[in-house]
Amino acid sequence: MAALTPYQSWGRYPRALPAGVRSLRFRDQPLPRVAGSVLPFGNGRSYGDSCLNNGGTLLATRGLDRFLAFDPATGLIRCEAGVLLSEILSLTVGGGWFLPVTPGTRYVTVGGAIANDVHGKNHHLAGTFGHQVIRLELLRSSGERLRCGPTERADLFAATIGGLGLTGLITWAEFRLKRIANPYVQVERTRFDHLDGFFELALGADREHEYTVAWIDCLASGRHLGRGIYLAGNHAAPTCEDAPRPPGRAPSIPFDPPLSLIATPTLRAFNEIFYRKQPRRPTNGVEHFAPFFYPLDGIGQWNRIYGPKGFLQYQSVVPMSAGRDATRAMLACIAGSGQGSFLSVLKVFGDRPAAGLLSFPRPGVTLALDFPYKGRATLRLFETLDTLVAQAGGAIYPAKDAHMSPRLFAAGYPRVDEFRRHLDPAFSSSFWRRVTGAVA
């Protein structure tokens, strides 16, 4: 039996104590027989409680870390579910292959990327990670091993994509990588002075760039509400010049500070400096893929800066028809609260239909921010944001969530009853029980 305490979510809120942890080493082994429910646990990069199983058993999957096949001519790769995206990049970037879709950290497992149907800066063109999966194997508690794909057991496949690990254990998956000429990205950065400036840039940049996203000053208000810096990038051409050296070993936060290091005065000062550092005129340059796609991976254990109480991320999506007004209202509410963090991200999702029954990405505007957990003050802010999201017909991202009400979950995920038909009866999570009232 493995130790229990290391198994927490990235936000370290809420805390949960599993009754047991079973480490999986071989994809051909049966599921362990245990009392109560089980839940796969990858690398613990989900922020809230979707990767927790309080009182149940966690199936630790990092031992399933083998590459099974890779065709350097086509980019087709098959690997076990516990392989990290960073391990795939280490294997393939030198040979000219990159992940077709990647979230903001490369330290997630393939199984976790599928179970949360993660998205990246290229959603407007490529959709989600689930859209890239050709087939996978699902081990059910009945002992059945079921191969699933878009044309093979398609209904179970759609439930497993974004299914939060509740349809069974993903043992391996197969998907196709993207051809690149080198490890660099041609990046254009543009400063904008208000929220309308973001939407003007997004409409043009999404047509011309594969990757787009914006950093937002979450404390700016008045005529500066929604100001920020827009990033648009494409993989660099084979002949790119002045390519920077790859980043070195990342420094790490060595211990837990007694209190959160995120305070309103320092956050306001940081945002002002970061915003002003970007010249008024757009800049264009070549960057290594690591800082462009994974800026926070540049600091190890960065979640410790929030102190022992941890933090929550609030990521929402609202339809484009309501996107401008709802985003403005949410940013005004956040700025007025004085809460927030350095990480405030705004992006427009594309129109591609969702790959999974519970997939979060959908056409519209997505806003993501981290918040130090300040008890009731943070929860009151989230309740206000929830009201704005609900009024706009939006949804909250389960992989980041630690507070969503059952009512908001049902409204944001109207195919949940269809999803229930594919639940494995032995699998459950703290998140699932919280938002559905299910019993472990």
Give the pLDDT of residue 267: 86
Tens of pLDDT, residues 233-276: 999 999 877 788 888 777 887 777 777 777 888 888 889 999 99
Domain residue spans in the chain? 184-401
Q: In this structure, are residues 12 and 311 in contact, taking their beta carbons and an 8 Å threshold?
A: yes
Distances (CA, A) of 3 to 15, 17, 40, 53, 62: 15, 11, 16, 15, 15
Rounded-to-integer distance, Cα 111 and Cα 103, Å: 13
Residue 283 half-sphere exposure toward CB, CA atoms < 13 A? 10
| Helix H or strand E segment including 408 | helix 406-412
Burial class of residue 415, CB neighbours in 10 A (0-12, 13-18, 19+): middle
Say which residue, 339 or 262, is predicted with more confidence.
339
Predicted confidence (pLDDT) at residue 389 exceeds the cutoff of 90: yes
pLDDT value at 114 more than 70: yes
Distance separating alpha carbons of residues 236 and 106, to the nearest angstrom = 20
Q: Is the pLDDT of residue 2 over 70?
A: no
Q: What is the pLDDT of residue 239?
A: 86
pLDDT, the chain, mean: 94
Domain 184-401 has CATH 3.30.1300.10: no
| Distance in angstroms (rounded) separating the CA atoms of residues 22 and 291 | 35
What pLDDT shows up at residue 4?
47
